Amino acid sequence: MNKTAWLILANGMTFEGTRFGASGEVTAEICFTTGMTGYLETLTDPSYHGQIVVQTFPMIGNYGVIPDDFESPRPRLSAYVVREVCAEPSNFRSRGRLDRYLRDSGVVGLEGVDTRALARVIREKGVMNAAIRDTLPDDLAAFTADLAARALSSDVYAVTSEKPFIVNPDGKKHVVLWDFGFKGGIARALAERGCKVSVVPAGTPAEKVLALRPDGVLLSNGPGDPATYRDIIASVNSVAESGLPVFGICLGHQLLALARGAATLKLKYGHRGGNQPVRETKSGRLFITSQNHGYAVDASTLPPAARESYVNVSDGTCEGVDYADVNAFSVQFHPEACAGPQDTAFLFDRFVKNMEESRHAAQ
């Protein structure tokens, strides 16, 4: 029988559940995602580094573990909270059960939790620190006070590649994918469009990026507070100033905005899931997007040469920016949408077109 454990929130609320996956105690920021499918992509998305992820959909694991669907080689989240884990997955592609996969990956799991109620708490109170442990503390008030005071964070440098590598070496257009915790679907989307993709670590300085002589640079997604990555922001600005076509996604969108003089802010509970509606400001057209972020660009701080291109329908936050003074654009959502809708995959085509036009202009 699985062992009982407790999820303790920094606001003093507690939720009882049973363990699955790896054993151990966890302290991290808690957030929720609304995806009905794509739990494997969620588990292996490096943007969840250092977080306890709550899955609102009631049954998870029903199609097992499928390595071909992973977004990175292994999970980076701190813990996984679900209502029910499927004990008998059914899918011809499955290579195992979720419980065993999390155990082998060292990720703590907690099931039997009312995740809908938990999501409502996070939505109303905001993301907060939380802990998973076997027993409730003797002094719950003192424990949660200490929990709330802890400075917990996610880190790009914990999830970025250790060294450069190339995807699709025979591609005709050369893209540097600046790896702040990139999802594999981004590299695949570029390769499908005939691009050679040079993946470089987060700490790569601008001069080394430019020395690769790419046709364009893609700034990837990733975890953490974008404003804390000052060296990366400076390097991103240098690359943007070079005139190369630049495309930012998620954290890359935020880093580009900071590099051009805008500010970012932390959202109350973020946008996580494959059903996030955005509106294109120029046309008014609506798109359903896949998202995973806790920070956003403050549209009121955008410089004069920047135009807000997409807006979140639910809360009005900035979802995209076009820049007139540099050859760059960015979006907060994931156009590769793994897993999720393919509504905005055309943005990769726009990036490829920018590279082609820039190459022709230079000849």
Return the pLDDT at 231.
98
For all residues of the chain together, what is the average pLDDT?
96
Q: How many angstroms separate the CA atoms of 193 and 348, rounded?
A: 8
Cα distance between residue 154 and residue 20, in whole Å: 24
Q: In this predicted model, what pLDDT tens digit does every residue of 136-173 receive, in sequence order? A: 999 999 999 999 999 988 899 999 999 999 999 999 99
User: Residue 238: what pLDDT?
Assistant: 98
Cβ contacts of 122 within 8 Å, gap of 6 or more: 30, 31, 32, 54, 128, 269
Residue 88 has which token pair?
């008998």
CB 277 within 8 A of CB 313: yes
pLDDT at 1: 45
Question: H/E element holding 333?
Answer: none
User: What are the structural domains of the chain?
Assistant: 4-149 (3.50.30.20), 156-362 (3.40.50.880)
Residue 85: which residues within 8 A CB-CB, separation 6 or more?
A: 20, 59, 60, 61, 98, 99, 109, 111
Please tell me what DSSP assigns to residue 220: -
pLDDT tens-digit series, residues 224-258:
999 999 999 999 999 999 999 999 999 999 999 99
Residue 21, pLDDT > 60, answer yes
Q: What is the pLDDT of residues 50-104, one digit of tens each?
A: 999 999 999 999 999 999 999 999 999 999 999 999 999 999 999 999 999 999 9
- The pLDDT score that the predictor gives to residue 362 is 76
H helix or E strand, kind and range, residue 95: none
Only one residue has tokens 């993946």, namely 199
Q: What is the pLDDT of residue 16?
A: 97
Could you list the active site residues?
250, 334, 336
pTM of the model: 0.96
**Cβ atoms of 128 and 10 closer than 8 Å:** yes
pLDDT of residue 216: 98
Q: What's residue 337's pLDDT?
A: 80
